[in-house]
Amino acid sequence: MHVVLIEPAFPNNQREFLRGLLSTGARISAISERPAEALPANLREGLFQFERVRSVVDEHALAEAVKRLSQRARVDRLEATIEAHVMAAAHVRERLEISGTTSRTAWLCRDKPAMKDAVREAGIACAASARVTSPEDARQFAKDTGYPLILKPLDGAGAAGTHRVDDDAGLERVLAELGVDRGREVAIEEFLTGHEGFYDTLSVCGKPVIDFACHYFPNVLEAMRTRWISPQIVCTNRVEHENYREVRELGQAAITALGIWTSPTHMEWFFGDKGLKFSEIGCRPPGVGVWDLYSAANEFDLYAAWGHAIVHEQVPFQPSRKYAAGMIALRPDQDGTIQAYDGLDEVHKRFGEWIIDVHTPPIGSGTQGVEAGYMANAWLRMRHPDYDTLRGMLDSVGELVQVRAS
């Protein structure tokens, strides 16, 4: 088996996927925009071959690099774990007749209106939505559906570029900001109220063989817009309980509807007064270090499990479910330069045995805006055998720690 990984060097957690593949004993090659020296020696020396290209989303350059790598050994799998690389990889697979995620599945997992159409056809409940190609399309959707509404890029990831609108004036403002009046297409959706979470799998031949459920506190859009909140992502160790049966069934249904085969998946969901609703799914791992949380919570190496799924289409590891795990973003009180971290000593004193790791940019570092995400500034990760106890500890961290900036 010869597997090629696209971009193993950046961002840094990509190295973990390379490490996971190397642990299988298969021939592993890589294509990167960076020199081989950007990789640690132990990973670099484990590679079968290496190719550098100007851009891994340049499909011609990517295909030519794969052809060169195939001269010594046929390429059996071409893998991408970053959202922006998924479509290019799928196109090159089909062009070179390599097994893996198809371009149709990759497109359905990127184009939000097409995704929603596909899951609706499969009988999966989701928010009303449409593709907006003109301001008039959006106005008509608002008239038919009512406010509030969500507008977002067709291929947006997470909350990037996402806007909530509550009235006609807000709609016109966002349409102009997104460039719809200049011909840009976007997705428009009914705004769902309720609790938001996500369901992730490692799927083999269309079936989840390992799965996880997580919760957002608060929901993503609020977390990415409100500075004073220290938002949390919390992974439960109760996913095998009856309370999560419907979420797991929804995940399997979405995987089937979109034709996802052997791949990581990341599915967002809402639960509110209208019941459980599908939001979106990607045929790739989640971001913000969530796989590290899963590994720490379950005392196993999820990256190696993924490597075995790709190479052998079976996984010899199972999660222990021993711990729930979570991360909390610790935001500066204003944009500028970090001056101090108040309360961290008390957090270590109270909860030290349960802390996985802490990231605190050095004093004097520049801050990043709230919209930059959960790991843009300081953060802390913890685990505990009891989910509810963990939630309480994370709340305490949010109350105790203040990141001072000026």
Q: What does the alpha-carbon distance between residue 188 and residue 77 come to, in Å, rounded to a whole number?
A: 35
User: DSSP secondary structure string, 138-193?
Assistant: HHHHHHHH-S-EEEEETT--TTTT-EEE-SHHHHHHHHHHHTGGGT--EEEEEPPP
Residue 268 — very low, low, confident or very high, per pLDDT cuts 50/70/90?
A: very high
Burial of 399 (0-12, 13-18, 19+ CB in 10 A): exposed
Kindly list the domain boundaries of the chain, sorted by start residue. 2-100, 128-190, 195-405
Q: 128-190 in CATH: which number?
A: 3.30.1490.20
Which class does domain 2-100 fall in? alpha beta
User: Model confidence over 115-134: pLDDT tens digits?
Assistant: 999 999 999 999 999 999 99
Is a pLDDT exceeding 90 seen at residue 277? yes
Distance set, CA 344 to CA 81, 353, 401 (Å): 34, 14, 6
* H-run or E-run covering 61: helix 59-70
Average pLDDT on 42-46 reads 96
Share of the chain above pLDDT 70, in %: 99
Share of the chain above pLDDT 90, in %: 93
Radius of gyration of the chain (CA): 22
Q: What is the residue-averaged pLDDT of the chain? A: 95
Q: 195-405 in CATH: which number?
A: 3.30.470.20
Q: Which residue, among 386, 378, 319, 329, has the nearest Cα to 354 in the 3D structure?
A: 386
Q: What does the alpha-carbon distance between residue 287 and residue 81 come to, in Å, rounded to a whole number?
A: 10
Residue 181 — very low, low, confident or very high, per pLDDT cuts 50/70/90?
A: confident
User: Model confidence over 305-359: pLDDT tens digits?
Assistant: 999 999 999 999 999 999 999 999 999 999 999 999 999 999 999 999 999 999 9
Handedness of CA 87, 285, 184, 187 (dihedral sign): positive
158 is written with which tokens?
């997470």
Is a pLDDT exceeding 80 seen at residue 221? yes
Residue 238 — very low, low, confident or very high, per pLDDT cuts 50/70/90?
A: very high
Average pLDDT on 254-277 reads 96
